[in-house]
Amino acid sequence: MRELIETTWTPVACDVCGADATELTVLGTRSARILQKQHDYTWRHQDTQCKRCGFVFNRLRPEAGFLRDYYTDCWPISSTSITIEPDFDVALRLNLLNRWLTPQARLYEIGDKLGEFHAALVKAGYEVAGDDVMAAASERRDWLDGLFRRGCVAVPPTAMREAFDAVLAYFVVEHLANPQHWLRSIRGLLTPGGCLVIEVPHLVLHPKEALMHEHFLYLTPESLTALVNEAGFEVVETSDSGASRRFGFALVARKTETPPPPDLAGLQVCAAKLQASYLRGRELLDDATNNLMVSARLVFIAVNEAPLSVRVCFFGANQTASEIASLLRPLLATDAVEILPFDNSDAKTGTDLEGFEHLVQKPDPTGFAPAMLHVCVICSRGWTQAIATQIRSFGLPHFVLLDGAGGCLLSAD
């Protein structure tokens, strides 16, 4: 049995305008058990709207150690059995940067995961902060740990102060437990007039993605503008679309000594729209949960109606797979049907996943017997088509393809 990590969740004031509990209305509460590499984690939400500025956010913040453990326990993406393309539009990111930055500008990308975007930045002629750090490694590491995982203020290492023409933060800000302190820390990295480039999910246009469990802030261009104004930035560009992921928006701000005051009255006007978007997002999330049950039932039907001996193969050893498998097992009248977890990630091979009796293995075409029917449930969000192509390349005469998260059949050959 995997260990469930709990923490203490503390309510905070409005991140945008600082209004306290007396001016906050709870829109909904939720909690979820989230699977990571080693452990499971309970995330809690008290989704709240500020009466003063209309901002919608999760008012509960976990202890520092919880975020640190959670994010260090994430799955790495690297694989040797499938080519994983970036899940963002590289050209779109570069176009925006080229509009605002001079050639050879010095950049710092924060929250860069595997550094997928670094190579493109270097190729485009920018000077990018990488692993050959300017400050002592330990000082930088402590600082990064503070920024990413504890979400709290940390003074930038001396050698990094005012060292960059731009800081890039793609899909980072919505995860911050203490965004004001974080933004002020980042401000310390920038030269006077330096640019902060942010992409985050858009609450109104993509409410489901905005409300993902790891997010504290459900942002729109208006609320993000107020947030960065408060931290000493002036916004020079926002775009509703034009982010490198379909569910995001982009914002470019400049460090200034005279930021415009946050436009609270302007924000208040959007309050009803934000509330409606929140409720829509919650509906879509409920639909997503229903989809998992639909997937389990589709697998059950495929197994029951199979004219041949049958195996169920999950592709993507993750939470979605785990939840569908756990729903599926009680539906099947027999334990004789094998339910197997596959994943292309090197790191997941040989690991244990809740809901499965077998360990995670890499998909190897020679392990798929042509005489059997393979019911394949694809659970790797973002790479569904790539994995479908991979399965088709096995050349099996009989297989069914399902989109696990979508709760629908992709094909039945």
The one segment of 6-14, 30-38, 95-103, 335-343 that binds Zn ion by CB under 5 A: 6-14
Minimum distance from residue 270 beta carbon to Zn ion (Å): 12
Asked if 411 and 403 touch (Cβ cutoff 8 Å), the reply is no
**Is 27 one of the binding residues for Zn ion (CB under 5 A)?**
no
Closest CA to 260 of 285, 215, 229: 229
CB atoms closer than 10 angstroms to residue 94: 17
Among 7, 9, 12, 14, binds Zn ion (CB under 5 A): 14
Q: Which of 5, 9, 12, 16 binds Zn ion (CB under 5 A)?
A: 16
Nearer to Zn ion, 227 or 387 (CB): 227
Neighbour-count burial of 139, counting CB atoms closer than 10 A to its CB (0-12 exposed, 13-18 middle, 19+ buried): middle
Q: Which of 170, 275, 171, 189 is nearest to 231 (CA)?
A: 189
Helix (H) or strand (E) holding 319: helix 319-331
When binding is defined by CB under 5 A, the residue of 12, 53, 310, 340 that contacts Zn ion is 53
Of 200-259, which residues contact Zn ion (CB under 5 A)? none
Q: How far apart are CB 173 and Zn ion at their closest, in Å?
A: 16
Stretch that binds Zn ion, among 55-63, 223-231, 241-249, 351-359 (CB under 5 A): 55-63
Asked if residue 5 binds Zn ion (CB under 5 A), the reply is no
Q: Which of the ranges 27-35, 45-53, 80-88, 368-376 carries the binding residues for Zn ion, by CB under 5 A?
A: 45-53
User: Segment contacting Zn ion (CB under 5 A): 15-23, 105-113, 180-188, 223-231?
Assistant: 15-23
Look at phi and psi of residue 295 and say left if phi exceeds 0, alpha if psi is from -120 to 50, else beta. Answer: alpha
- What secondary structure does DSSP assign to 372-396, as a single string? SEEEEEE--TT-HHHHHHHHHTT--
Q: Tell me: does residue 52 bind Zn ion (CB under 5 A).
A: yes
Question: Distance between CA 363 and CA 340 in Å, rounded?
Answer: 10
Is 340 one of the binding residues for Zn ion (CB under 5 A)?
Answer: no
* Binding-residue total with Zn ion (CB under 5 A): 8
DSSP code of residue 155: P
| Contact footprint for Zn ion (CB under 5 A) | 14, 16-17, 19, 50, 52-53, 55
